[in-house]
């Protein structure tokens, strides 16, 4: 069976647009901002992402354009690789990358985005492709195709919360709950609010994620909480452990996105930005953004601390 790395090489060999975008991505500029000694945010200037960051998506997470993830609309060069353990999803090389290897994993059928119905798949794929981080962006927090179910996967080693795990955990996470196979932490002093889940089994991690999403929906009285979730999942092969980061969201875009003139920043934070890998498509934003502005951006889009605390307090009573 073709591995995802072989598939990636095959696609780049026959697809000039993708090859060019992967090459130009290597020239992206970056600089790091530190907030305390546990929280690093890497700013990246990547002009090719302008379409994604300013995509017109309505408040309900709808888009007004033909679906680009349906098989019959893929460019002629783009192939779809079958995946182990599922007939419902395929692997695609993402032609607009933010990682040295960047994939999209759409469902075969055109159906709206959802997290919980296919949550276990993220975990099984994290084991199959353990050089990648799997991630999900809800329709109201970063997905560019909320009308078509999909996950993404990108190279390990770049996103600060992944590549500096578990070092940042010492100061940036507080243990909430522990079971035989699973530990749940709340992020603390990391600019972003959310939870870190460490688990020896996929089943235990999925159970806790279902609880957190359910409690989030109750806390903010939202019937579609999955559309306001960013989730990252990866597998630590060395100690056979799953790690997940769950970010419930307040807003899709920060206030500065809607500002005028010099105050405006074109940004739509999604899982990658929540992980501390912060992409600005406009070089003026990348150059000018200050630590104070970045703090404000995360505060605008993340769930307030009081709501996080309320959900964390009810976690032990949850029955998924």
Q: Which stretch binds Zn ion (CB under 5 A): 34-42, 81-89, 131-139, 144-152?
A: 144-152
> Rounded to an integer, what is the distance from CA 125 to the centroid of its chain?
15
Which of 67, 71, 188, 259 binds Zn ion (CB under 5 A)? It is 67
In the complex, the smallest distance separating the C-beta of residue 150 from Zn ion, rounded to whole angstroms, is: 9
Burial of 138 (0-12, 13-18, 19+ CB in 10 A): buried
If one asks whether residue 70 binds Zn ion (CB under 5 A), the answer comes out as yes
**Distance between CA atoms of 113 and 138, rounded to whole angstroms?**
7
Which of 19, 110, 210, 296 binds Zn ion (CB under 5 A)? It is 110
If one asks whether residue 88 binds Zn ion (CB under 5 A), the answer comes out as no
CB 194 within 8 A of CB 248: yes
Which of 57, 63, 69, 215 binds Zn ion (CB under 5 A)? It is 69
Q: Which stretch binds Zn ion (CB under 5 A): 69-77, 94-102, 179-187, 214-222?
A: 69-77
**Distance between CA atoms of 133 and 77, rounded to whole angstroms?**
25
Cβ-based nearer residue to Zn ion, 67 or 167: 67
Cβ-based nearer residue to Zn ion, 150 or 252: 150
Say how many Å lie between the first and final Cα of the chain, rounded.
36
Find, among 114, 116, 126, the residue nearest to 150 by Cα: 114
Q: Print the binding letters for residues 149-178 with Zn ion: x by CB under 5 A, - otherwise.
A: ------------------------------
If one asks whether residue 48 binds Zn ion (CB under 5 A), the answer comes out as no
If one asks whether residue 108 binds Zn ion (CB under 5 A), the answer comes out as no
Q: Which stretch binds Zn ion (CB under 5 A): 141-149, 179-187, 231-239, 258-266?
A: 141-149
CB 110 within 8 A of CB 148: yes
∠ CA 59-60-62, nearest 5°, is: 100
Burial of 172 (0-12, 13-18, 19+ CB in 10 A): buried
H or E segment and range at residue 69: none
In the complex, the smallest distance separating the C-beta of residue 72 from Zn ion, rounded to whole angstroms, is: 9
In the complex, the smallest distance separating the C-beta of residue 109 from Zn ion, rounded to whole angstroms, is: 8
- The footprint of Zn ion (CB under 5 A) covers 67, 69-70, 110, 148
């Amino acid at each position: 069976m073709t591995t995802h790395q072989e598939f990636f090489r095959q696609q780049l060999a026959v697809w000039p647009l993708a090859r060019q975008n992967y090459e130009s991505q290597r020239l992206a500029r970056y600089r790091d901002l530190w907030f305390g000694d546990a929280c690093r945010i890497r700013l990246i200037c990547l002009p090719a992402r302008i379409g994604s960051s300013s995509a017109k998506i309505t408040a309900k997470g709808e888009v007004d354009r033909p679906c680009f993830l349906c098989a019959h609309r893929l460019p002629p060069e783009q192939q779809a690789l079958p995946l182990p353990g599922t007939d419902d999803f395929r692997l695609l090389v993402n032609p607009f990358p933010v990682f040295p290897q960047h994939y999209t994993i759409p469902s075969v059928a055109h159906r709206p985005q959802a997290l919980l119905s296919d949550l276990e798949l993220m975990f099984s794929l994290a084991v199959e492709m353990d050089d990648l981080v799997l991630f999900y962006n809800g329709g109201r927090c970063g997905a560019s195709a909320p009308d078509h179910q999909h996950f993404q996967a990108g190279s390990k080693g770049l996103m600060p919360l992944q590549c500096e795990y578990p070092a940042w955990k010492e100061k940036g996470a507080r243990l909430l709950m522990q079971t035989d196979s699973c530990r749940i932490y709340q992020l603390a002093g990391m600019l972003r609010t959310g939870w870190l889940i460490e688990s020896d089994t996929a089943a235990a991690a999925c159970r806790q994620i279902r609880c957190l999403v359910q409690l989030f929906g109750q806390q903010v009285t939202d019937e579609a909480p999955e559309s306001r979730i960013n989730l990252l999942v990866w597998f630590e092969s060395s100690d056979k452990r799953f790690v997940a980061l769950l970010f419930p969201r307040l807003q899709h875009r920060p206030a500065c996105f809607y500002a005028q003139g010099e105050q405006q920043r074109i940004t739509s934070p999604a899982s990658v930005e929540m992980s501390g890998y912060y992409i600005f498509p406009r070089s003026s934003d990348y150059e000018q953004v200050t630590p104070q502005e970045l703090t404000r951006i995360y505060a605008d889009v993340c769930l307030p601390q009081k709501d996080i605390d309320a959900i964390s307090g009810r976690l032990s009573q949850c029955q998924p």
